[in-house]
Amino acid sequence: MSGFSVDWLDLREPADLRARDASLLAQAKSWLGEDPSSIVVDLGAGTGATLRAFIDSGESGSSTPHWRLMDQDAELLAEARRRFASSHKLETCELDLANVSELPLAGIRLVTASAIFDLVSATFIDSLVTTLQSQCRTEAVGLYVALNYDGTTKWTPAHSLDDPVLSAFNRDQRRNKGLGPALGPKACIYLKQRLITAGFTVSSASSPWILDAVDGTLMTELINGIATAVADDPNLDSESLRDWLDFRLANVQIGKCVIGHRDLLALPEPLDSR
């Protein structure tokens, strides 16, 4: 999977925390329960953003679960240990997320992920859902995935190239990011369908980034990142793209940006009802 820096993850985290659907997060915590032996596996954990979201939403009782943070980036996991090892039951696993069959998922209560499922392939999702479905025959396992990009972006003020740039960016989102050909904006839809077919009860909710002048640094990085991602798209000429980039950067302090995401929570039927 493509690497992310600690600085970038820290920069986007306030927007992520605001965007998360509070109801689904609360339901995920309720599913986790009060058993201190419960294990949460966080896929693509980075520096521990999902763990922080659980903390920031308020502790559900005095018990804290055991968090197993999985990522392919040793530096990000080291930062997670630095931030949380003294206050939470925590282990980190540096491994290849693409090998779902080798992920240490036995005995867990909940799988979580933040802002990575739009980077994964249909094959990855198929393998993960099949694994969870199999585990649910003996132990109930839930899945909570947040901040999945849905392909929509609205800028204020508008520019004539907003739609062509968005289309080019969404094409770029389908590239292989290290976990197979990425589903990009279609990931949440595909994941929901696969989970329902596998017998899970699935809830989803909108969780858009809503950015304005307060998020100026984040918007600047986002604009530059989008321009870089679409620079080689044959449907965009460089002069027009430069005009779009200059316009967007000039309006960071007075403009607004809404980027669509969706959160999803999938829970199995109770074992005694099957």
What pLDDT does residue 8 have?
93
Cα three-residue angle 91-92-95, rounded to 5 degrees: 140
Residue 70 domain-assigned (yes or no): yes
What pLDDT does residue 2 have?
46
What pLDDT does residue 265 have?
98
DSSP 8-state class, residue 262: E
Residue 27 domain-assigned (yes or no): yes
Residue 232 domain-assigned (yes or no): no
Residue 190 domain-assigned (yes or no): yes
What pLDDT does residue 3 have?
63
Residue 109 domain-assigned (yes or no): yes
Q: Cβ of 97: how many Cβ atoms within 10 Å?
A: 22
Alpha-helix residue ranges (DSSP H) falling in 136-266: 162-172, 187-197, 216-230, 238-250
Chain centroid to Cα 14, Å, comes to: 14
What pLDDT does residue 1 have?
45
Residue 242 domain-assigned (yes or no): no
Give the predicted TM-score (pTM) of the model: 0.93
Where in the sequence is the domain holding 112, given as residue range(s)? 6-152+175-210+260-269
Residue 84 domain-assigned (yes or no): yes
What pLDDT does residue 272 have?
54
pLDDT, averaged per 10 consecutive residues of the chain (274 residues), comes to 80 96 95 88 95 78 78 94 84 92 92 95 96 94 97 98 98 90 95 97 98 96 97 96 98 97 93 52
Strand ranges, E, within the chain: 39-43, 66-71, 90-94, 110-114, 142-156, 201-206, 209-211, 256-267
**Residue 29's domain is classified under what CATH number?**
3.40.50.150
DSSP 8-state class, residue 180: S
Residue 195 domain-assigned (yes or no): yes
Torsion of CA 118, 120, 129, 99, to 10 degrees: -150
Domains: count for the chain: 1
Among residues 122, 163, 117, the alpha carbon closest in space to that of 265 is found at 117
